[in-house]
Amino acid sequence: MLLIKKDGIFIFWILLFVHCGLIFLGKTNIANFTKLLLIPFLTLHLALNVYNLGSRFIKKLIYTALTASFIGDFLLLFSGNTFFAAGMLSFIVTHVCYAWFFFRAGKFKWNNSTEFVIAAGFLGLISFQLLNFMKSHIESYLLIPLIVYVIAICVMASAASNLFGHKVLRALAVSFFIPGSLLFVLSDSVLAMNKFIYKDDFLNVVVMLSYGYAQCLMVQGFVRYLRV
């Protein structure tokens, strides 16, 4: 346990690279197993580092987000739009919890939300263009859930960006939360385009690398925030 506590991030990257290598080599069954190790490993690393530290409510938010991510990872192992929609719902919970954390940690106020508004406008514009590009390839009954999901992830990333204006949390935001949230946006954008348009196995590696890096940055940021 001490090894996971101290060197957990390094071990996580080894695990992530092994997982991506298995995807690249087409070892789907083993890759499905290694995928389900990623979030529990990060959660364990987090728990070992913040035991008896920080706000219980904040930790409940974070653990709920990570649990929802694990459920989403599991659901997305299965083919079919039903599992895809259920996976999206799980990750909506993740993004809501992350956004809640960012709003609460940064003591969000509308009269001091310049970064939030700029990020929301920028991400909203990109998301609109992406959805418009993909909509002819998406089944009509999935369009509304996708829009809800896009709103959730854009709010989460915008809330993270708003921490740039917080003097105390700016360093954490720049080093972990902002790049983590943007990598989440990148990962999910590639995932959606690959599912509905390109269907390229190599893009699954891109999805998992960016997703794994995103979650890793988030957890590293949470550890530092809770240990202050």
Q: Determine, yes or no, domain membership for 166.
A: yes
Q: Who's near 227: CB < 8 A, 6+ residues apart?
A: 49, 50, 53, 54
pLDDT tens per residue across span 88-137: 999 999 999 999 999 999 999 998 899 999 999 999 999 999 999 999 99
Backbone angles phi, psi at 96, to 5 degrees: -65, -45
- DSSP 8-state symbol, 163: G
Q: Determine, yes or no, domain membership for 144.
A: yes
Q: What is the pLDDT of residue 142?
A: 92
pLDDT tens per residue across span 52-90: 898 999 999 999 999 999 999 999 999 999 999 999 999
Q: Are 38 and 19 in contact (CB under 8 A)?
A: yes
Higher pLDDT, 54 or 170: 170
Q: Determine, yes or no, domain membership for 200.
A: yes
Q: Determine, yes or no, domain membership for 177.
A: yes
pTM of the full structure: 0.95
Domain that holds residue 120: 56-226
pLDDT tens per residue across span 97-109: 999 999 999 999 9
Q: How many domains does the chain have?
A: 1
Q: Determine, yes or no, domain membership for 209.
A: yes
**Among residues 172, 176, 182, 177, which one has the least CA distance to residue 160?**
177
Rg value, the chain, Cα? 17
